[in-house]
Amino acid sequence: MLLPSVTRYPAMIRLSALCLLAPLAAAAADPSPERARELVRMVRQDCGACHGLTLKGGLGPALLPETLREKPAESLRYTVLLGRPGTPMPPWNTFLTEAEADWIVRQLMTGFPEEIR
Ligand code: HEC
């Protein structure tokens, strides 16, 4: 009688650990494919108005992997969310969640996707 319950125990622990981790994983998850498409369009059009349609720079600096590589992703994320007061870089936190800004920064740092039409 004792043996089966002991052997079942680790499985229960593993299961409850999964339940605890699941919401965290969901919070940090990538946007849905539809939302990702919207975000790509937004960056190419709205951010591109200042940063260049190919993100090679304009009024704002280039947002290419080679220009962002040395910069901490965390501070770039806050630049996107809060803007840079005293410069034309506006805050985007009314349009983007933190996770979405994080996703955009990750895409910029690795090579931003082309718009899918
Ligand atoms: C109205 C013009 C404008 C728009 C629109 C704009 N930016 Fe900017 N952005 C700037 C300027 C100017 C800077 C440089 C600010 C400074 O002098 O520090 C900047 C800086 C940045 C930086 C920091 C770059 C670095 O090398 O440190 C990031 C990242 C960035 N913008 C991302 C975005 C994203 C993403 C969007 C769209 C969601 C966006 N920007 C839209 C003008 C703009």
Mean pLDDT on 13-40: 68
Ligand 1: does its nearest atom lie under 6 Å from the Cβ of 64?
no
Contact of 88 with 27, CB cutoff 8 Å? no
> Domain 31-110's class?
mainly alpha
> What pLDDT is recorded for position 57?
98
Q: Which atom of ligand 1 is nearest to the CA of 49?
A: 5
Domain ranges for the chain, please list them: 31-110
Q: Ligand 1 mean position to 62 CA, how many Å?
A: 9
Contact of 13 with 6, CB cutoff 8 Å? no
Q: Distance (Å, rounded) from C-alpha 2 to C-alpha 47?
A: 64
Predicted TM-score of the model (pTM): 0.82
Ligand 1: does its nearest atom lie under 6 Å from the Cβ of 49?
yes
Compute the mean pLDDT over every residue in the chain, rounded to the nearest whole number: 85
Q: Ligand 1 mean position to 94 CA, how many Å?
A: 16
